[in-house]
Structure 1
Amino acid sequence: MHVRDGLQTHVTVRQRYDHLVESGSIRSDQAQLPIVAALDRLIDEISEKRLARKSSALGWLFARRKPQHEHVKGLYVHGGVGRGKTMLMDMFFELVPVKHKRRVHFNDFMADVHDRIQRQRAARKNGTSRDDDPIPPVAAALAEEAWVLCFDEFSVTDIADAMILSRLFSALFAQGVVLVATSNVAPRDLYRDGLNRQLFLPFIGMLEQNTNVLNLDADTDYRLEKLDRVPVYISPLGEAADKAMDKAWARMTHGAAAEAATVAVKGRKVAVPAAVPGCARFGFADLCEKPLAARDYLAITAHYKTIFVDHVPVLAEANRNEAKRFILLVDTLYDQQIRLVISAAATPDKLYVGKRGHEAFEFDRTSSRLIEMQGAEWLDGWAERHAEPAASLAG
């Protein structure tokens, strides 16, 4: 522990973790301690690599050309929802002594990658680039910007992502990028039952070769422990639910008249059925039965910090596309820390009834996040970020 400006600062994940335990912010969990230790070992290895690169001008000159001499294996932590994976990774990200680092939700990262590939292809077409293959220059730019990458909720459901991951990360790892990721599933279960999965398998081997894979096998879902329900998740559907949603909307918008609006996304427009400054209201069909993707949901969150979604049905295997979009929608709202008010046909743990395919795995996370987003802690945190009283929804 260091002292800076009269204040103690933590230099290891274990010190930060112990402080949170001592302050009562979290409870010590024996299942989390091996992850804490692994993250601290990784910080030590990265620090040694950083010092080695700085110790010699030649080291800096040849660091990119000879990454095999300074390769550091990252960390892939998987386990059930609500076990503390993201909390531990965020401690690591804050403490790792690297300037060029990036912490991002995996879906946001892949949206950025696809945008870069598109720009690179356009540059090749108009003659400003000579690279026929867009992957190497995109990977080089990403590695230059951040050589420590932290991914929250590593999950592969999109075939476009699956088909480029092997080549992209082959280039990133070759340039010395260190990956730290959290996921609900082990590497071998990524993109399970996905189209042309055999083409994705080389990436799994590469991931296992370049990260240490650890399972966080805790028994407690800490999100459920913090639950303090307020009426932002309304179920079941019916006249009473509709009235409750209307009442919440009136409170949140202070009775302002709503108007239809649009959000521009890459030359397209996403319709917003009802909006006032800061708040938007959609039906489930508006967001999940239309061909929307991560970038559309991100664009919506850039304009509105409170989202209402009416009439979410129970989803089954016959609704796989709608379920995928709903999973992605909740992931995006959660990661962007958006307040969500929702009416649904069932409680979060019963919204998806399919048994096959990766959606069943993915929806465990969605259910957990929907529960957490109802809690007083989440809403109080939202209010602090946006300087508004969370109590406007209470009672």
Structure 2
Amino acid sequence: MEFLFEQLKEYHPPNVLKPCLQSAQSHTSISSFIKSLFGASVPFNDYNSSVPHGIYLYGDVGCGKTMLMDLFYQTIPPHLSKKRLHFHQFMQKLHKRSHELKTVHGEHQNFDVMPTLAYELSKQATVLCFDEFQVTDVADAMLLRRLIDLSLRSDHGLVLFATSNRAPDDLYINGIQRESFIPCIEEIKSKTNVIHLDSPTDYRRIPRPLCSVYFSPRKGATYHSKECRKQRKHHIDSWYSYFSQGHRMEYRVPIRLWGRELMVPKCSPPYVAGFSFKQLCGKNYAAGDYLALASQFESIIVTDIPYLSIDSRDEVRRFITFLDAVYDNHCRLAVTAAAPFSEIFVEPEDINPDDGFELSEKGRKKLEESRKLDESLSNSNSSRNEQSEIYDPLVKEHGFDKSIARQANLFAELDEERFAFARALSRLKQMRSLAWVENVSAKGMTDCLKLGKHHMPKMPNC
């Protein structure tokens, strides 16, 4: 990182020429013709490039990748333009801009949007910082392949700094048409210094003071009991009051994105929004919707999260996508749920068929057995590594809790899905810490201070 910083101080990017419509069309025709003959596009001779090599920093969850990238981002020399984005945000913007260009130039047959996208990116940033670089979608893979190829060339001069949980060779593993994405992987490896941040410590698992942002019934109580309903209402009212800092509640507030509206059932913009789990995850929402929510609200409250299983796979996937957006935008989260997150993902037959918020008799017995197993392992004199041998690579290779790995196995079979699931559970632990809840954005805090301290609601008991 120090070496790259010294290079950037002396680096002056090239003046990128704006592609004209004719050349963009010609590029499409020529490259398509050559590709039809040889199965690949002609490589760009870039061996004598003066562009500094970027950094591809990868490692396990919680090892400090994002912190290091953010520290580096703050030191980038002021004469260079820069942009720092989460990968999901970047791909969302890329697809949207690609659609706009195709709409504008739709009358031109075979119009190639990629030279224009690469040109616009080079004008926005000389140093591009990607957090959580991952490729799981074939449309993302194909779009990214050509953009990386164009942008990292010496005539565009982009310097890439990316963090990822995956080594470059493991990107888009087992993906559809992966062989077409391999040139992108090779380009990343040739234009960045690939660094494995092999930290033995997961900093997210260091004990922190916990807050009562997640509510679930105490042992022996039922979710729909009179006592529990009263406690749930108090929990939600208290946290809404704290998050909103006394601002008026509004109902059915629309958020416009991609030419349509996402309706927020209740909120106090831009401080807090409230959804039930069904409202949030039971509809056809995607990453862009959740990113819009997380970027416009400091805090989000989600109520009535039932027991979850592979029978509710779509809802679980959306919930994972939502949690990623909340975490990446440092939103605060409060919930009411049928059980603690460490116990909420179960086998379908373990859920009471008449009430998704209760376990069946079989489910209750399995839960008790699981608790006893975790307790016996935690009290064992064997080392953590010895204990982890009985679990899968999520524990041995990535350092996740044994209970998290066990739940990930219940939900998914594909490695990428299991990893995303386990990462979401790990992030939920961090988001319940006092440090996370107290770290409110400056915009909300400024307005709070205008009210005067005597008007500021007190944080619910932690």
TM-score under structure 1 normalisation?
Answer: 0.78
Partners in 1 of 2:122 and 2:211 — Cα distance?
Answer: 43
1:343 to partner: Cα distance? 3.1
- 5+ residue gaps, structure 2: 20-43, 343-402, 449-455
| Residues 81 and 364 in structure 1, CA contact (< 8 A), matched pair in contact too | no
Aligned partner of 1:301 in structure 2 is: 294
Aligned to 1:142, what secondary structure does the other structure show?
helix
Aligned partner of 1:97 in structure 2 is: 77
Aligned partner of 2:8 in structure 1 is: 46
Residue 436 of structure 2 aligns to which amino acid in structure 1? Answer: W
The residue correspondences of 1:273-312 to structure 2 (distance < 5 A) are: 273-277=265-269, 278-312=271-305
Aligned partner of 1:328 in structure 2 is: 321
Residue 223 (structure 2) pairs with residue 238 (structure 1): yes
Partners in 2 of 1:318 and 1:194 — Cα distance?
Answer: 24
Aligned to 1:392, what secondary structure does the other structure show?
coil
Aligned to 1:291, what secondary structure does the other structure show?
coil
1:384 to partner: Cα distance? 5.7
Aligned to 1:176, what secondary structure does the other structure show?
coil
Indicate the larger mover: 235-244 or 102-111: 235-244
Indicate the larger mover: 160-169 or 316-325: 316-325
Residue-pair matches, total: 347
Partners in 2 of 1:341 and 1:301 — Cα distance?
Answer: 13
Q: Deviations over 1:339-391 (max 9, x none)?
A: 11123444256464335211111223322321111111111111666225685
Residue 156 (structure 2) pairs with residue 144 (structure 1): no
Aligned partner of 1:163 in structure 2 is: 142
Distance 1:60 1:166, change over 3 A: closer
CA RMSD of aligned residues (A): 3.0
Residue 236 (structure 2) pairs with residue 249 (structure 1): yes
Partners in 1 of 2:310 and 2:194 — Cα distance?
Answer: 30
Residue 342 of structure 1 aligns to which amino acid in structure 2? Answer: V
Aligned partner of 1:216 in structure 2 is: 197
Aligned to 1:340, what secondary structure does the other structure show?
strand
Aligned partner of 1:5 in structure 2 is: none
Aligned to 1:227, what secondary structure does the other structure show?
coil
Partners in 2 of 1:61 and 1:193 — Cα distance?
Answer: 36
1:322 to partner: Cα distance? 3.4
Indicate the larger mover: 168-177 or 250-259: 250-259
Structure whose alpha-carbon radius of gyration is higher:
2
Partners in 2 of 1:96 and 1:231 — Cα distance?
Answer: 39
1:315 to partner: Cα distance? 5.1
Distance 1:197 1:243, change over 3 A: farther
Q: Deviations over 1:83-129 (max 9, x none)?
A: 111111111111121431111111111111111111111221267xx
Aligned partner of 1:154 in structure 2 is: 133
Q: Deviations over 1:156-209 (max 9, x none)?
A: 223321221111111111122111111112122222333333332322222222
Distance 1:325 1:193, change over 3 A: farther
Partners in 2 of 1:321 and 1:178 — Cα distance?
Answer: 37
Partners in 1 of 2:257 and 2:202 — Cα distance?
Answer: 36
The residue correspondences of 1:165-184 to structure 2 (distance < 5 A) are: 165-174=144-153, 175-184=156-165
Partners in 1 of 2:186 and 2:228 — Cα distance?
Answer: 48
1:235 to partner: Cα distance? 3.6
1:215 to partner: Cα distance? 1.3
Partners in 2 of 1:205 and 1:66 — Cα distance?
Answer: 15
Distance 1:241 1:87, change over 3 A: farther
TM-score under structure 2 normalisation?
Answer: 0.67
- Calculate percent identity across the aligned residue pairs: 35
Aligned partner of 2:461 in structure 1 is: 394
1:265 to partner: Cα distance? 1.9
The residue correspondences of 1:1-395 to structure 2 (distance < 5 A) are: 39-50=1-12, 68-98=48-78, 99-125=80-106, 132-174=111-153, 175-225=156-206, 227-235=208-216, 238-239=223-224, 243-254=230-241, 259-277=251-269, 278-313=271-306, 319-344=312-337, 345-348=339-342, 350=404, 352=408, 353-357=410-414, 358-382=416-440, 386-387=444-445, 388=448, 391-395=458-462
Q: Deviations over 1:282-321 (max 9, x none)?
A: 2223222322122211322354322112244565556554
| Residues 73 and 212 in structure 1, CA contact (< 8 A), matched pair in contact too | yes
| Residues 154 and 182 in structure 1, CA contact (< 8 A), matched pair in contact too | yes
